[in-house]
Amino acid sequence: MVTPNGEGDRTAAVVGLQFGDEGKGKITDYLSGSYDVVVRFNGGTNAGHTVVTDDGTFKFHLLPSGSLRTSYVVLGSGMVIDPISLIPEIEIVKKVNPALRIIVSRNAHVVTKMHRQLDVEEEKIRSSLMIGTTAQGIGPTYEDKYARTGIRMGDITNFNVVKEKIETMYRMHSNLLSGTEFSDPEKRNEMAQALYDAGLKIKEYLDYTEMAIDRLYSQGKRILFEGAQGVLLDPDFGFYPFVTSSNTISASIYTGTGFSLRKVNRIIGVAKAYVSKVGEGPFPTEITDDLAKQLRDLGGEYGTTTGRPRRVGWLDLPMLRYAVRIDDVDELAITKVDTLGMLDRVKVCKQYLLDGKPIDYVPRDMETIKKIEPVYEEFDGWGSISDSISGRKISIDQLPPKLVKYIKFIEDQLGKSVGIISMGKERNRTVRIIK
């Protein structure tokens, strides 16, 4: 049940329902004012979240988006962390929220410059199966984690341990790294020193976060979990191999933090009013004509991490229905409704046809998904949305009637309520819908 202030229960999670880039950061920031703790449980610098406030524009890559308003933030053990990149993020956030307590998992794995190079080299080998990786070293870091040769955050306060592990990693990957700067022992030594120096700066934040979260929960703190990426990028449930390297679904809260999913009272699934995607892979509702550029420019659809233009397409309800089920979503948050509304006509994919016949599932093998034919429902655009409703709790009937029709169609198709809508990047242009 939603609490009287309409901002969720004692524990809640914000997760993405598409290909990432849904606007989770803004929703997390909006909700975080009602929570004491914000926890991130997966991914690394490949996930970028942008938050716009009166204090400026903040682009988060490692710290949770709720860092600006909450009292504690936690980087869980399911993450992979570049400690050198983390330091300036901490410095920026501390200027806005000086009382913020930061807790970083000792067991989270460390992203190094060598991992970034491996990301590039591995992408070359994939050739026609190129993923379109962000080249942030995320995949190779998870590879080393599961090969049991990785560096953990708790290691980087000991120079000898860091140096030994870097040498082991180099030997494991020497066939890919032999022609790069990392074949030079001195470069590897410099990297070890830089990681050690960073480790000394963040030593005060390191803890066993599964214990820290449990302590905070036992103290009665309200906790919000922030996911990175989206369901369709999950390596088990997304469009493999065009996926990320960590599990992105709500269940990975448990594996990424040690906090039981059974204790999470509410799961809020975030979807854009249309769909955007960075990287390669199937995209059944993709728009590829001049309308794509128009929508991309209206929505500022360029990656937070890479700056790459995002692919865009119509809202895909079969995919969304699948994601809602996988994430066991209680409530929907729909972002960028102002952007989509500026189009004269809006389409929504309500069903797939395969070989001319309706199907009630989302195929995830590459040959089948290429044969999918989307069936669309069309709506009139609803134009601009008055700023007078921004930052308020309103009745759905206070929205433009054409937008209400669009929202109710989504609710009817998915069997879930839309509780939040968002317009643009500014924090105050977020609306809680009371029904």
Which tens digits make up the pLDDT trace of 196-245? Answer: 999 999 999 999 999 999 999 999 999 999 998 999 999 999 999 889 99
Residue 314 pLDDT grade (very low, low, confident, very high; cuts 50, 70, 90): very high
Q: Is 365 a catalytic residue?
A: no
Q: Please tell me the predicted confidence (pLDDT) of residue 428.
A: 79
SS (H, E, C) the chain: CCCCCCCCCCEEEEEECCCCCCCHHHHHHHHHCCCCEEEECCECCCCCEEEEECCEEEEECCCCHHHHCCCEEEECCCEEECHHHHHHHHHHHHHHCCCCEEEEECCCEECCHHHHHHHHHHHHHHHHHCCCCCCCCHHHHHHHHHHCCCCEHHHCCCHHHHHHHHHHHHHHCHHHHCCCHHHCHHHHHHHHHHHHHHHHHHHHHEECHHHHHHHHHHCCCCEEEECCCCHHHCCCCCCCCCCCCCCCCCCHHHHHHCCCHHHCCEEEEEEECCEEECCCCCCCCEECCHHHHHHHHHHCCECCCCCCECEEECEEHHHHHHHHHHHCCCEEEEECHHHHHCCCEEEEEEEEEECCEEECCCCCCHHHHCCCEEEEEEEECCCCCCHHHCCCEEEHHHCCHHHHHHHHHHHHHHCCEEEEEECCCECCCEEEEEC
- The answer to whether residue 251 scores a pLDDT higher than 90 is yes
Q: Please tell me the predicted confidence (pLDDT) of residue 285.
A: 96
Which tens digits make up the pLDDT trace of 274-310? Answer: 999 987 888 999 998 899 999 998 988 886 666 778 8
The residue annotated as part of the active site, out of 49, 61, 109, 115, is: 49
Alpha carbon distance 31, 118 (integer Å): 37
Q: Please tell me the predicted confidence (pLDDT) of residue 355.
A: 93
Alpha carbon distance 19, 352 (integer Å): 18
Region for 152 from its dihedrals, namely left if φ exceeds 0, alpha if ψ lies in -120 to 50, beta otherwise:
beta
Alpha carbon distance 426, 30 (integer Å): 10
Q: What percent of the chain has pLDDT over 70?
A: 93
Query: Would strands 56-60 and 49-53 be described as parallel, antiparallel, or unpaired?
Result: antiparallel
Q: Is 109 a catalytic residue?
A: no
Residue 2 pLDDT grade (very low, low, confident, very high; cuts 50, 70, 90): very low
Interior angle at CA 297, CA 292 and CA 302, nearest 5: 95
Which tens digits make up the pLDDT trace of 19-67? Answer: 988 989 889 989 998 999 999 999 888 666 667 776 778 777 899 888 9
Half-sphere exposure of residue 183: CA atoms within 13 angstroms, side-chain side: 7
Q: Please tell me the predicted confidence (pLDDT) of residue 411.
A: 97
